[in-house]
Amino acid sequence: MADDEQMRDPAAAAFANLADLAGSTVDPSWLRRTTQKSHQTDQPRRRRRWSGAGPSVRDPRPVGTIFGELARTQGWAGDLQRGRVLSQWSSIVGDQLASKAQATSLVDGELEVRTESTAWATQLRSMNRVLLTRIEELVGPGVVRRIVIKGPAAPSWKHGRRSVRGRGPRDTYG
């Protein structure tokens, strides 16, 4: 059988002669190339036709699937999940709560939420576990590990470059 192949393929015959001269024990038919498939169709290269009725590489795919694969291969999946928390905050917590509290940042699994008043900050602190499970359900596990809830920022009494250190506004009221 091997002699029959060598007669049809002169390159295989020449390789077999070289292998015999070198004293190699490699079977030349074992090193034969396989037919390469085209990247456009799932068929061998020499047969370039349409892809047929079966599934093919050229079949159209949904855009969401393509972008999902791109995000996974480029390592963007985690960034997209973190962005979903901030962009979909109102759908995660509801419209009423979103009008009183805004998610401001998400760094290293720590979500910072700024509230309109201290009363809303206290209310959100008591709902911390519920918010974490809701975020985990809608966005995915491990995206948010901790929620830091901050009330409104207090006014600064330090004005100008030449302000004096001290107790602040309490010093001025006798």
Instruction: For residue 48, give both structure tokens.
Output: 């370039």
Q: How many structural domains is the chain composed of?
A: 1
The reply to whether 47 falls in a domain is: no
- CATH number of the CATH domain containing 81: 3.30.300.180
Identify the helix (H) or strand (E) that includes residue 101: strand 101-107
**What is the model's pTM?**
0.54
Structural domain range at position 103: 77-150
The reply to whether 95 falls in a domain is: yes
> How far apart, in whole angstroms, are the C-alpha atoms of residue 113 and residue 53?
53
The reply to whether 19 falls in a domain is: no
Question: If you average pLDDT over residues 59-63, what whole number do you get?
Answer: 86
The reply to whether 13 falls in a domain is: no
Portion of the chain with pLDDT greater than 70, in percent: 71
- Contacts of residue 125, defined as CB under 8 A and 6 or more positions apart, other chains included, come to 149
The reply to whether 127 falls in a domain is: yes
Angle at 48 between CA 44 and CA 54, to 5 degrees: 75
The reply to whether 1 falls in a domain is: no
The reply to whether 118 falls in a domain is: yes
The reply to whether 7 falls in a domain is: no
Tell me the pLDDT band of 139, cut-offs 50, 70 and 90.
confident
pLDDT at residue 152 in the model: 85
Q: pLDDT for 94-127, tens place per residue?
A: 999 999 999 999 988 899 999 999 899 999 999 9
* Mean pLDDT, the chain, whole residue set: 78
- Contacts of residue 10, defined as CB under 8 A and 6 or more positions apart, other chains included, come to none
